[in-house]
């Protein structure tokens, strides 16, 4: 039996061979990855997400191997009662090994912002120019811990604390 290939059948045969080759390569890659995954030791991660070029963690370590600084609240711009604006960043140490507490902290970022905003925006105008930083930290820390169920925050850090006067 003599077969005559036309241009259409040659094109479909080439396409079929190319697709079959691609599937074969993908299967080989999956097999190699599976064998590598089963053979490598599990004590070291294959790769690390969230690190910079020098392979140091983005979150800064405070003490020990699993204590880090939570700075997810970000920079707050809080309107004050005298029409000024307070710019503030709040951070605190937490145990990164406690996964449940870490997830609770991430879920409460919005609440943390509201608590800080409510505290500073409710200050009377005469106390705004001389904010007692330690009293503010103590009160905000008390309010933060009141909403947390799975752990406690031990200390707060304020950075970038500045007041932009509206009269200027």
| Structure confidence by residue, pLDDT tens digits, 80-125 | 888 888 899 999 999 888 899 999 999 999 999 999 999 998 888 8
Residue 142 tokens read as 């008390």
Distance CA 163, CA 6 (A): 80
Residue 57 per-residue DSSP state: B
Q: Is the pTM of this model over 0.85?
A: no
pLDDT at 5 over 50: yes
- The residue written with tokens 């969230």 in the block is 50
- The residue written with tokens 């106390």 in the block is 127
Which of 36-45, 57-66, 139-148, 153-162 comes out lowest in average pLDDT?
57-66
Distance CA 138, CA 141 (A): 5
Q: How many CB atoms lie within 10 A of CB 89?
A: 14
156 contacts 141 by C-beta, under 8 angstroms? yes
137 contacts 158 by C-beta, under 8 angstroms? yes
**Interior/surface letters 107-131, b for 16+ CB within 10 angstroms, e for the rest:** ebeeebbebbbeebeebeeeebeeb
What dotted CATH number matches 67-164? 3.30.479.30
| DSSP three-state, residue 78 | strand
56 or 77, which is more confident? 77
25 or 123, which is more confident? 25
Using a pLDDT cut of 90, give the percent of the chain over it.
42
| Structure confidence by residue, pLDDT tens digits, 148-168 | 999 999 999 998 888 888 665
Region 43-64: what's the mean pLDDT? Answer: 51
């Amino acid at each position: 039996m003599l077969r005559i290939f036309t241009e259409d059948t040659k094109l479909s045969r080439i396409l079929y061979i190319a697709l079959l080759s691609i599937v074969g390569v993908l299967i080989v890659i999956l097999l190699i990855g599976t064998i590598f995954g089963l053979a490598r030791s599990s004590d070291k991660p294959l790769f690390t997400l969230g690190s910079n070029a020098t392979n140091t963690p983005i979150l800064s370590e405070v003490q020990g191997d699993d204590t880090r600084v939570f700075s997810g609240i970000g920079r707050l711009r809080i309107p004050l009662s005298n029409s000024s604006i307070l710019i503030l960043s709040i951070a605190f140490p937490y145990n990164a090994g406690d996964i449940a507490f870490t997830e609770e902290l991430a879920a409460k970022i919005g609440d943390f912002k509201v608590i800080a905003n409510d505290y500073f925006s409710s200050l009377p105008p005469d106390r705004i120019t001389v904010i007692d930083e330690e009293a503010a930290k103590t009160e905000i820390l008390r309010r933060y811990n009141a909403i947390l169920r799975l752990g406690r925050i031990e200390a707060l850090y304020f950075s970038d604390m500045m007041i932009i006067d509206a009269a200027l």
